Amino acid sequence: MAALDDVTVVSIEQAVAAPFATRQLADLGARVVKVERPGSGDFAREYDRTVHGLSSHFVWLNRGKESLALDLKNADDASLLHRLVDRADVFVQNLAPGAAERSGFGADDLRRRNPELITCQISGYGPEGPYRDKKAYDLLIQCEAGLLSITGTEDEPAKAGVSIADVSAAMYAYSGILAALHERHRTGVGSHVDVAMLDALGEWMGYPYYYAHYGGEPPKRSGASHASIAPYGPFRTGDGADVFLAVQNDREWQTLCTKILGAPALGTDPEFATNSDRVRNRDRVTAAIESAFASLTADSAMRLLDEVGIANARLRTMAEFAEHPQLAARGRWREVGTPAGPVQALLPPVTPSGAEPVMGSVPAVGEHNATILAELDAQA
């Protein structure tokens, strides 16, 4: 049995945040009914056509779900959805603020009809406040949360390469729903989970906030290097490649100087004795490391670092990640069906012991209308 195979989730969802939260519930065995617009469906279906003609975002976010195409402005369709939600355990939506309430699917109304229902709303800025009705997309939340102010190079800010604001909100929605299910098991009563993207990403901005608020200045944009730890980042080797290494404490710094750089005196030099000293003298630290690396290839440098216990990594392309030997050795890839044929997908990071994740197919728009409507007719 999968962990959530007795849980039914109904989700009026689009884009990234809500679909990622509910996909994780589906991976744990929950039945997830995704409500989409008739015809076009979730607009994330049209982000690109790179996966056998399907959207890369949509394929990533929507495996294991049933697609129900309904027009919520149509009274009959809205009534069908109410009947479905009345029998559900969880209702999720990431519509514009107030839209669910105007459509008759506000949290309070739904839980009056079904007191055991857990409702979850994901929004950009939360259900109240001056930004309540402001449109919110991932990059814009990255800006408002200050992420771009600390990400990029000294000359230019940069966004995160993945939808980090959406993903952070999805993770809190997912964990909040699991907590609410546990609470309902004890009380028999449902509850409401409210997640704002700004709140979620703001939580992940804890270190730079404390650093700036109490240190007097924000972390500097430092490209691929860590803003407040040195050495921690890329270093050029003799074959023109970069090796990333991370020194986390003074003992590791002394090991690096003695066993890799061949300069034990540098490890105890007062100008480099503490991390704050090394950050202040970052250019000299980098010069010392790259001087020692000049006679090494990237592979040989990484081998030496491994031998002395200094953390390191290579910068992989997405193609190289797909062939990562660690993922292959641990059997982390599975095949998932789509309307355009099978695709490869990584196993979820968390899997209860002894259970294979339920990695179902990616649905076409309205693929499950007939099945779901027949069930509702049978239960009427």
Q: Which residues are catalytic?
A: 226
- Distance CA(188)–CA(182), nearest Å, equals 10
> ∠64-66-72 over CA atoms, to 5°?
140
- The DSSP-derived string for 175-193 is HHHHHHHHHHHHHS---EE
Maximum pairwise Cα distance, the chain: 81
Q: Which residues face 69 on adjacent strands?
A: 36
Per DSSP, helices labelled H in 129-235 are 138-144, 147-150, 164-187, 197-204, 206-215
Handedness of CA 268, 271, 277, 281 (dihedral sign): negative
Q: What is the dihedral of CA 253, 258, 263, 264, to 10 degrees?
A: 80
